[in-house]
Amino acid sequence: MVPLPLAQLMDQFRRLPGIGPKTAARLAYHVLGMERERALALANSIIAAKDKIAYCSVCFSLTDENPCAICRSQTRDHHTICVVEEPRDVAAMERTRGHERNRGYQGTYHVLQGTLSPLDGIGPEDIRIRELVERIQTGDVREVIMATNPNLEGEVTATYVARLLKPLGIQVTRIARGLPTGSDLEYADEETLAKALENRREI
């Protein structure tokens, strides 16, 4: 019999994405073997991240200040918005900038927080499309780059948003198919992503 607190800890790990029963057990035993200090630090960082990080009220990426650093930055190009599915895709796109800040993507972001997917009950009202339209109507945006994932739902969402934005008189582009289809943006390496961005085409 596994003691109850240990079983509960395993169960908590098991609920995390990509963690099976074996890995959950290994992680739980690993935590038990830690010094109390280390375990406390782990627990505290989970709480701190949860409490201090929220969505940026402009771009809906994750941030500990509102608006986020990118939205507040004077050096970013606020005429260009790159539309992605999830906050982790912002991190992926930011990697295209490397260490010298004059390389790669210079514009701002908009995180949809999902894609259209009737299967999961997600329609246009359930993701941040309305907020994107408002941003465009109130700001001086010239180009919107659709960088949703190159899978079915990502393509459909890109098409939907493009058709919605076209009448507003801005240029809407789609990142190039340099990415393997059906793959995720976040796993693409910087170079592939930078190429895909460079070779974007109008939709």
Partner 1 sequence: MNVERIKLHNFRNYQELNFSFLQGVHVFTGCNAQGKTNLLEALFLAVLGKSFRAGKDDELIERGKQSAKIEVEFNNLIASHSLKLDLYRDGTRKNVLDGQAIKKREIVGYLNAVLFCPEDLWLIKGSPSGRRRFIDLMISQVDRNYYQDFIKFNRILLQRNHLLKKIQQQSAKPKLLDIWDDQLIELAVKIHHRRNEVLRKISELAGQIYAKITSGTETFSAHYCVFDQDKTEIEFYRKWYQQRLFEGRNNDIRRGNTEFGPHKDDINFIIDDYEAKLFGSQGQQRTAVLSLKLAEIEMMKNITGEYPILLLDDVMSELDGQRRERLIQEIDGKIQTFMTGTEIAIGLEKVTATYYSVSAGVVERM
Binding site for partner 1 (CB under 8 A): 20-21, 116-119, 121, 123-124, 152-153, 155-156, 159-160, 163, 182
Question: Which residues, in sequence order, are CB contacts of 165 under 8 Å at separation 6+?
Answer: 132, 133, 136, 144, 172
Which one of Zn ion, partner 1, none interacts with residue 84, CB within 5 to 8 A by kind?
none
Assigned token pair, 57: 């009220």
Which one of Zn ion, partner 1, none interacts with residue 58, CB within 5 to 8 A by kind?
Zn ion
Provide, rounded to whole angstroms, the least separation between the CB of residue 119 and partner 1.
5
> Would you say 117 or 171 has its CB closer to partner 1?
117
Q: How far apart are CA 42 and CA 31, in angstroms?
A: 9
Type of residue at 9: L
Which one of partner 1, Zn ion, none interacts with residue 56, CB within 5 to 8 A by kind?
Zn ion
> Would you say 59 or 153 has its CB closer to partner 1?
153
Which one of partner 1, Zn ion, none interacts with residue 129, CB within 5 to 8 A by kind?
none
**Cα–Cα–Cα angle for 180, 158, 132, rounded to 5 degrees:** 135
Provide, rounded to whole angstroms, the least separation between the CB of residue 47 and partner 1.
30
Provide, rounded to whole angstroms, the least separation between the CB of residue 85 and partner 1.
16
DSSP 76-143: SEEEEEEEESSHHHHHHHHGGG-SSTTSS--EEEEE-SS--BGGGTB-GGGTTHHHHHHHHHHS---E
> Would you say 126 or 190 has its CB closer to partner 1?
126
